[in-house]
Structure 1
Amino acid sequence: MRNFLNFEQPIAELEGKIEELRHLGDDGEVNIADEIARLQTKADKLLRQAYSKLTPWQKVQVARHPQRPHFADYVAGLVTDYVPLAGDRAYADDKAIQGGIGRFNGRSVMVIGHEKGGDTQGRVKHNFGMARPEGYRKAMRLMDMADRFRLPVVTLVDTPGAYPGVGAEERGQAEAIARSIEKCLGLTVPIVSVVIGEGGSGGAIALAAADRVLMLEHSVYSVISPEGCASILWRSAENAQTAAEALRLTAADLAKLGVVDRVVGEPMGGAHRVPKEMIDALGAAVERELATLSELDVATLRRQRREKFLAMGRDAQI
């Protein structure tokens, strides 16, 4: 069953009526095909209208939609012969960050990313995609392996932020994030990162200091969540919508700022409506980037990566 967001309620009502009519039609008592077609046309029109003018706060809601494809869905749809790798070889295996080796369009790659979980049990298991230090240290271990065996790295970012618990801080959360960013920037192999949902603060940047940073159309990427920003500025999370407007966290805003290199379009109604279409589109986008980057020698690759981040924001069009 599809979950509808608050601003999608008129669409939800129409699709509910369509579903009821289809059940009636299955009984063969009345021919209601014309009525279903009329309602479907109206629902499609409302969907297009709603998604053509999403506010930043609505974009945040779409980015957080529980039925958006997650890391595991993209791996299952795009990577064959996938072998998951676990543990940081120092403390534990953090389920919030997943990774492993596989084949992407016939190319051997290392894929790493945040996993939020698809249901309540999964979200608890994966800590809602909020990684602890051991998660970032696992990511660094896998990046080292990719460097050693000359494997391109693909990272999928989807996290509200790094886990802020006392234990995580005691084990060096800030150091682990900083080292992970440093590791990304120092790789001698291509690295492509995609923000597939939420890109929250340093927890996201730790996997997104890449040669190419892509964002899905309705994903968000920000130094802090709207709720966190509102709590600091207005002492209340109730101003989250106002904060979202000010943070410039949408894909379109960040492309103008030069923070991301490319925006990958989503199916009408968001990635959660047609997951297979979104997975295929992301695969095509990543393949184009890897094909271009694979032609560069190591010195050029690292120089361009360095220049990219040094220039970030310098020529921004706000």
Structure 2
Amino acid sequence: MPTTYLDFEKPVADLESKLIELKKLAETTQVDVSEAVARLEDSIIQLRQDTAQNLTRWQRVQLSRHPDRPYTLDYIELMCEEFIELHGDRTVRDDPAMVGGFCNMDGQTVMVIGQQKGRNTKQRQQRNFGMANPEGYRKALRLMLLAQKFNKPIVTLIDTPGAFPGLEAEERGQGEAIARNLKEMFMLKVPVVCVVIGEGASGGALGIAIGDRVLMLENTWYSVISPENCSTILWRSWNFKEQAAEAMKITAKDMQMARLVDGIVEEPLGGAHLDHKTMAETLKKTILGHIKELQQLTPEERINQRIDKFCAMGVFSE
């Protein structure tokens, strides 16, 4: 069970609290309450289903940031074997906000790269809250080119509130590093599968999100700006973030309808934070399925389809 409940999860939290009390009562009094427990468990499942079907866009943003949600290293641990992390951009330093390396995924060697947030204050400071510096994007590109050298598929896991906006990052070429990644990823000769596992904000996300397949988990968002910052710009206040999220249409369903992503990966009932293992198994199966499909194409076919797909975005006729 989750250690943290969001505001809209309070009715579920109340029922689960009653369930825990009922089970404790059964243990202490040796009274058979199995029927009551079963009814309560059914009620919890039904309430979670009703909640999931009526989530607002802002609530999905909240779920994408849930503190118990699995991060990149969690997925790597659950999906991969023999993960060998590779460090450094060979220019300045290693960026802990961007992790990557070769691993074995059910017999398929892949290069997995992703942004990593932290679980506690110390880790968040170390990982810079998942906001990569230029070195992170240059490290990601170095690893992608290494994967291409050995003809191995690339998987990127996107979860960032944006690239680090500090002065030092701009001085070291933040914009150039992201732009170079965009250019180079279009021309990669190996299959590339990109997955938004949490927040997909701005160029910080896009810097590792040019792929043959771009997927989103069910409770994630992908946009040029966060609802809070959009609200700040338009209304001079964060208080309109819910309205901003609705207007921006940033959820996985919105992105798929706009043909900006290629698919949605279903999460366990209630969200990925409730069942890391099941979520990882579902994601691994989905990734391997797409890699198998992409491996049937020649490098030239993949590159041409990749370019055509992104060039078609935003095109409309009157």
Q: TM range, normalised to the smaller chain?
A: over 0.9
d(CA) in 1 for partners of 2:129 and 2:269?
Answer: 26
d(CA) in 1 for partners of 2:219 and 2:274?
Answer: 12
Check whether the contact 1:70–1:118 (CA below 8 A) recurs between aligned residues.
Answer: no
d(CA) in 2 for partners of 1:78 and 1:202?
Answer: 27
What does the per-residue CA deviation read over 1:7-64, in whole Å, with 9 as the maximum and x for residues that have no partner? 0001101101111221222224433222222222222211111111110000100111
d(CA) in 1 for partners of 2:43 and 2:13?
Answer: 12
1:272 aligns with 2:270: no
Check whether the contact 1:258–1:315 (CA below 8 A) recurs between aligned residues.
Answer: no
RMSD of aligned Cα (Å):
1.3
1:301 CA displacement = 1.1
Give 2:109's aligned residue: 108
Check whether the contact 1:159–1:199 (CA below 8 A) recurs between aligned residues.
Answer: yes
Q: Where does 1:9-48 land on structure 2 (aligned, <5 Å)?
A: 9-48=10-49
1:193 CA displacement = 0.2
| AA aligned opposite 2:60 | K
Q: Where does 1:225-244 land on structure 2 (aligned, <5 Å)?
A: 225-244=226-245
Give 1:160's aligned residue: 161
TM normalised by structure 1 equals 0.96
Give 1:119's aligned residue: 120
Q: Where does 1:287-302 land on structure 2 (aligned, <5 Å)?
A: 287-302=288-303
| AA aligned opposite 1:96 | A
Give 1:60's aligned residue: 61
TM normalised by structure 2 equals 0.96
d(CA) in 2 for partners of 1:313 and 1:291?
Answer: 29
d(CA) in 1 for partners of 2:192 and 2:42?
Answer: 42
Secondary structure at 1:126 match in 2: helix
d(CA) in 1 for partners of 2:108 and 2:83?
Answer: 12
1:305 CA displacement = 0.7
Secondary structure at 1:195 match in 2: strand
Give 2:216's aligned residue: 215
Q: Where does 1:178-217 land on structure 2 (aligned, <5 Å)?
A: 178-217=179-218
1:117 CA displacement = 2.0
d(CA) in 1 for partners of 2:54 and 2:179?
Answer: 37
What does the per-residue CA deviation read over 1:261-311, in whole Å, with 9 as the maximum and x for residues that have no partner? 011111110111111111111111101110011111111111111111111
1:70 CA displacement = 0.9
Give 1:145's aligned residue: 146
1:81 aligns with 2:78: no
Give 2:135's aligned residue: 134
- Identity across matched positions, percent: 47
Check whether the contact 1:88–1:141 (CA below 8 A) recurs between aligned residues.
Answer: yes
d(CA) in 2 for partners of 1:275 and 1:253?
Answer: 25
1:253 aligns with 2:254: yes
Secondary structure at 1:66 match in 2: coil
Gap change, CA 1:33 and 1:315, over 3 Å in 2: farther
Give 2:283's aligned residue: 282
Secondary structure at 1:301 match in 2: helix
d(CA) in 1 for partners of 2:279 and 2:121?
Answer: 23
Give 2:51's aligned residue: 50
Check whether the contact 1:259–1:312 (CA below 8 A) recurs between aligned residues.
Answer: yes
The count of residues paired between Structure 1 and Structure 2 equals 316
d(CA) in 2 for partners of 1:290 and 1:127?
Answer: 31
| AA aligned opposite 1:220 | W
Check whether the contact 1:114–1:156 (CA below 8 A) recurs between aligned residues.
Answer: yes
Check whether the contact 1:100–1:112 (CA below 8 A) recurs between aligned residues.
Answer: yes
1:2 aligns with 2:3: yes
d(CA) in 1 for partners of 2:166 and 2:53?
Answer: 38
1:315 CA displacement = 6.0
Check whether the contact 1:112–1:154 (CA below 8 A) recurs between aligned residues.
Answer: yes
d(CA) in 2 for partners of 1:298 and 1:30?
Answer: 66
d(CA) in 1 for partners of 2:279 and 2:315?
Answer: 32
Gaps of 5+ in 1: none
1:132 CA displacement = 0.8
What does the per-residue CA deviation read over 1:128-160, in whole Å, with 9 as the maximum and x for residues that have no partner? 111111100110110111111111100000011
Farther off after superposition, 187-196 or 176-185: 176-185
Secondary structure at 2:194 match in 1: strand
